[in-house]
Structure 1
Amino acid sequence: MHIVILGLSITSSWGNGHATTFRGLVRELAAQGHRVTFLERDVPWYAAHRDLPQPPYCRTELYADLADLRARFAGEVASADATIVGSYVPEGVAVGEWVQETARGIVGFYDIDTPVTLAKLAEGDHEYLHPSLIAGYDVYLSFTGGPTLERLEREFGSPCARALHCAFDPDLYHPEAVEAAWDLGYLGTYSDDRQPRVDSLLVQPARRWPEGRFVVGGPMYPDTIAWPGNVERRDHVPPDAHRRFYNQQRFTLNVTRDDMIRAGWSPSVRLFEAAACGVPIISDAWEGIDSLFRPGDEILLAERPDEVLAILQGMDDAQRRAIGLRARERVMAEHTAAHRAAQLVALLEALATARRPSAVAEGA
């Protein structure tokens, strides 16, 4: 198949978790024999931080604005077997309207931010998606599974809402023998609604355990945050440094945005990447996490600073390693980028097949 993707960014991972998801998915689509064209709006903040300006597994084109997109790529979109618009694409409503008018193949919306999107729609915020567009997409590919999929179909008229979780690349994320530099680490861009849990599950334990070693990696943290002296800060950890970053942690922390906790069934790509490295994960709790990992056996759940400290100070290395390796076995069996690409292709092929009888009938 020829698949066109209009996404937030594949060329830059700066403050942008979408790049990791798109890179893995597109690479595996190419490995499975499909041709992908990725169209990305050229914006200055990504232009200044392009860590993969020309992905080797797809044709990547930058466009200046909507007029440029329409003028240069209408033929590409019209002839593609499938065209997928991603969440947070600049002027995504206008882009979506144009794609639905132009494409003759399957059209889909890939929402890597589903709970955030639904919260925006409830507030009348149509930054990149309008409710009227949802029924016009043949498939709504959702970062979030569970009851949210039924809601998208029932309340918004999606003809087909399916989970397409984030994933990881086994070639990039795996255990390696490096000396532990930190007892607990966290990797993530700053978010107002996530920060209270970072404070509760990492900063407060660091204050209570001065001998412990902690690290927080990611951009956009305000200068006003008073980090304890035993918390190291890394402003940007590029994707090619993620594996080493995780492997240098005895435990790694996963915290979740409020909208995603409310929706449940919303795993972060960092969750799968850390698990793939065999690093035991301490996570906040949300509905559906037990469908991804067995709590206490493959992942450790904590809601308070004392629970985190009990794990950091009380768990022996053999038990710690065993939990990490069981999590790795789970994600290797279910959550690689190759799994996601295969899921997507099977879904697009099923939708195309379902469409053909009506097309034949109309032609007759």
Structure 2
Amino acid sequence: MKIAFYGSSLLSAYWNGAATYYRGMLRELAARGWEVTFYEPDAFDRQQHRDIDPPVWATVVVWDNTPGACREVVARAADADVVVKASGVGVFDDELLTVFDHARPDALTVYWDVDAPATLAEIRGQPEHPLRRALREIDMVLTYGGGPPVVGAFEALGARMCRPIYNALDPTTHHPVEPQARFAADLSLLANRLPDREARIEGFFIEPAASLPDRSFLLGGNGWHDKPLPANVRALGHVGTADHNAFNCSSLAVLNVSRDSMAENGFSPATRVFEAAGAGACLITDHWEGIDQFLKPGEEVLVARDGREVAEHLAALTPERARAIGEAARRRVLAEHTYARRADEADALFRQSLAARRERSAA
């Protein structure tokens, strides 16, 4: 059984927060017998910043960022049993929707959204948006975040089915390691500078840092080089995935700050949440509805509604309590929130849907 997956990048996490999700999900689906081909464009300098080699569990096709190359890889959808177009490829997104037109009649067609709030905001004001037509014709929408508001919104736009397949942990890639002095801090944050998150990072990270001048803060991620920061904040720039474990294990606590739309919709834990928990880090997160579905506030995660509460959590946090929270979070995600569990959901959904379709065709 073959999956053709059209996404941003499997090989590079450079300006590509979905990479960890793609890798965790697709490796586990391959372990369940799926033959995965991932089609990614040579765009945004990602191929120059690869952080993994082509894996044995997927065939990766890197296509030139040209209309002709796009048409060529789109046509290959006819070879697959499941055809997946992910959101946010970043180039030729509308043209890539035609993969569904190339799918065989007996194939399953899936739009897999890794940023549902942004997608919904984009198409709400565009009655002729190409995705609107696609949603009414394909079999299902999967999202890596979003609860009832996201499901309801996609179904209102005509999707036959919408189901969240949430972010999770791959314990083979994200796990405890020895701390490293270069990542030592009281509070660390790993987040690219994005327009719809910058104000929240100012409130949840930069302002608490300014209010606690005797504590040390570490900021990793692209785009912060020209941002004015308090003297006790050290900006690292891009942190490759190979360093994420050390980054998460070397500070007293790790902060998660959601983008505006993710926080508003809730039920959208970022990959960073599970990466940090998998490393046994003490996580402080901004508040969003549904957090208790994934981690228990006060025991497995600390939740802050504003920067003042971030500062209060940090001021009261002892190494012993931080260790206890991190260990509890790791136990929880290993038990309930791994990509193996998520892939079981997707695998069953794909196989059941394909079997039902083929049974109807044979009747």
TM-score (norm 2): 0.92
Determine the structure 1 residue equivalent to 2:77. Answer: 77
Determine the structure 2 residue equivalent to 1:190. Answer: 193
Question: Which stretch of structure 1 is more off in the superposition, 93-102 or 133-142?
Answer: 93-102
Determine the structure 1 residue equivalent to 2:177. Answer: 176
Give the residue type in structure 2 aligned to 1:209: L
Determine the structure 1 residue equivalent to 2:131. Answer: 130
Distance 2:74 2:133 in 1: 24
Question: Given that residues 144 and 164 in structure 1 are in contact (C-alpha distance below 8 angstroms), is that contact kept between their aligned partners in structure 2?
Answer: yes
Distance 1:115 1:251 in 2: 28
Question: Given that residues 185 and 253 in structure 1 are in contact (C-alpha distance below 8 angstroms), is that contact kept between their aligned partners in structure 2?
Answer: yes
Q: Say what the alpha-carbon RMSD is for the aligned residues.
A: 2.0
Q: Secondary structure at the match of 2:37?
A: strand
Aligned residues: 358
Determine the structure 2 residue equivalent to 1:88. Answer: 88
Q: Does 1:299 align with 2:301?
A: yes
Q: Does 1:4 align with 2:15?
A: no
Question: Given that residues 12 and 53 in structure 1 are in contact (C-alpha distance below 8 angstroms), is that contact kept between their aligned partners in structure 2?
Answer: no
Distance 1:126 1:132 in 2: 8
Determine the structure 1 residue equivalent to 2:221. Answer: 218
Give how far 1:73 is off.
Answer: 5.9
Distance 1:238 1:126 in 2: 39
Residues 202-256 of structure 1, C-alpha deviation per residue, up to 9 Å, x if partnerless? 2122222222111010002261x21111111111100010000000111111111
Distance 1:312 1:136 in 2: 50
Distance 1:125 1:207 in 2: 45
Aligned-pair identity in percent equals: 35
Q: Secondary structure at the match of 1:252?
A: strand
Task: Pick the aligned partner of 2:116 from 110, 114, 137.
Answer: 114
Determine the structure 2 residue equivalent to 1:18. Answer: 18
Q: Does 1:259 align with 2:258?
A: no
Distance 1:70 1:251 in 2: 47
Distance 1:359 1:348 in 2: 17
Give the residue type in structure 1 aligned to 2:140: V
Give the residue type in structure 2 aligned to 1:344: A
Question: Given that residues 4 and 37 in structure 1 are in contact (C-alpha distance below 8 angstroms), is that contact kept between their aligned partners in structure 2?
Answer: yes
Give how far 1:304 is off.
Answer: 2.9
Give how far 1:16 is off.
Answer: 0.7
Question: Which stretch of structure 1 is more off in the superposition, 206-215 or 98-107?
Answer: 98-107
Distance 2:303 2:310 in 1: 9
Residues 89-132 of structure 1, C-alpha deviation per residue, up to 9 Å, x if partnerless? 222222112323433410101100001111111232988x6211
Distance 2:275 2:53 in 1: 22
Give how far 1:152 is off.
Answer: 3.9
Question: Given that residues 116 and 146 in structure 2 are in contact (C-alpha distance below 8 angstroms), is that contact kept between their aligned partners in structure 1?
Answer: no
Distance 2:141 2:360 in 1: 21
Determine the structure 2 residue equivalent to 1:243. Answer: 245
Distance 1:30 1:215, change over 3 A: same
Residues 162-206 of structure 1, C-alpha deviation per residue, up to 9 Å, x if partnerless? 111122210121223326711000001111221222222221222
Give how far 1:66 is off.
Answer: 4.1
Question: Given that residues 200 and 259 in structure 2 are in contact (C-alpha distance below 8 angstroms), is that contact kept between their aligned partners in structure 1?
Answer: no
Distance 1:343 1:205, change over 3 A: same
Q: Secondary structure at the match of 2:46?
A: helix
Query: Which structure 2 residue ranges, 5 or more long, are not aligned?
Result: none
